[in-house]
Structure 1
Amino acid sequence: MEIRVIEKEAFQVVGIAWNGTYSELDKLPQLFTEMEFRADEVLYPTGEQVLINPFHCRETEITYYVTTPVEKIIDVPEGMVGFTIPKKSYVFGSHDGLPEEVENTYIQMFKWMEEYGYEQDHHALSLEIYPFGKRNNKKRDETIQFDIYLPVKRYREED
């Protein structure tokens, strides 16, 4: 897996928000199904065939969004949220493997960050970006592919 630092410009998203404990993560596939079903309700889509999933982890819980990119945030559908993700530098990598191997991909990215002196910005949203329609239809023994963006607060200077 290639890991590198990239900068993403600010962009806007509209979608479904979920907050729960780590033991409830099995509910996430339902969010993908709902968002894919309701995608036509979102006004001003960019046309990108992706689901952008910003998330924020805390000690005991996680907030996870399943969203679609939009050109502007107007008339957000009922039960959805819209917001802007600001310009940010990220450590970028891709997962291409079995669902149970996702944790290993994150571990590799965190080790890379440590090795190269990058510090995660825990106040910013991390991102997972999936091809539209590809996330929810996978069985446990089928591979999944998606991109991971971990926000970087700063580069630690060498002495």
Structure 2
Amino acid sequence: MGIQVIEREEIKVVGISWNGTYSELGTIPGLFAKMIDRLEEVSHQTKEPFLIAPFHDRETEVTYYVTKPVEKIDEIPEGMVGFTIPSKNYVFTVHKGSHEDIEKTYQKVYVWMEEYGYERDYSALSLEIFKEEYKLPSALGDLHYEIYVPVKAYKE
């Protein structure tokens, strides 16, 4: 698993949101199906064939979005949200494996960040990007997607 720091440009998104506890994380896969069913409602979609799942994870709860990148935000369908994710530095890796292995992938990222002196930026959204070529999930039930953990400036 390769891990690196990259900068992502600002991106505008429109999609659905969910907030719940860690015990309710099983709700998240259904959000993707719901968003895919409503994609035609989103105006000004970019050409990128992928969904972006920004999220805030806190001590007791998670806010998770399933969104489509857009050129501009001027019409937000009922029951959806639209917002801009600012340009930011992220620690990047790819998760390829089962739902059960997701936590292990994130733990590897956090260990790498500690080793290389990067501090997580808890005020910014983490991102999971599901590209069309990865198809979600595979025939084996495995997931394949990009993970971006926001970081503050490098610690000297």
TM-score (norm 2): 0.95
Task: Give the number of equivalent residue pairs.
Answer: 155
SS of residue matched to 1:25: helix
Displacement of 1:40 in angstroms is 0.8
1:39-54 correspondence runs (5 A): 39-54=39-54
- CA deviations on 1:42-80 (whole Å, 9 max, x unpaired) are 000002111100000111100000000000001110000
Rounded Cα–Cα distance in structure 2 between residues aligned with 1:20 and 1:92 = 25
Against the structure 1 CA distance between its residues 142 and 30, is the aligned structure 2 distance closer, same or farther, given a 3 Å change threshold? Answer: closer
TM-score (norm 1): 0.93
Aligned twin of 2:91 = 91
Structure 1 gap ranges (5+): none
Q: State the identity as a percent.
A: 57
- CA deviations on 1:5-38 (whole Å, 9 max, x unpaired) are 0000101000001000011111111110010010
Runs of 4+ in structure 1 deviating by more than 2 angstroms, as ranges, are 131-135
Rounded Cα–Cα distance in structure 1 between residues aligned with 2:8 and 2:68 = 16
Rounded Cα–Cα distance in structure 2 between residues aligned with 1:15 and 1:99 = 22
Aligned twin of 1:145 = 144
Rounded Cα–Cα distance in structure 1 between residues aligned with 2:26 and 2:135 = 17
SS of residue matched to 1:12: strand
Aligned twin of 1:58 = 58
Matched, 1:32 2:32: yes
Rounded Cα–Cα distance in structure 1 between residues aligned with 2:114 and 2:138 = 32
Task: Report the residue type matching 1:144 in the other structure.
Answer: L
Matched, 1:71 2:71: yes
Rounded Cα–Cα distance in structure 2 between residues aligned with 1:58 and 1:43 = 31
Rounded Cα–Cα distance in structure 2 between residues aligned with 1:81 and 1:142 = 29
Displacement of 1:138 in angstroms is 5.3
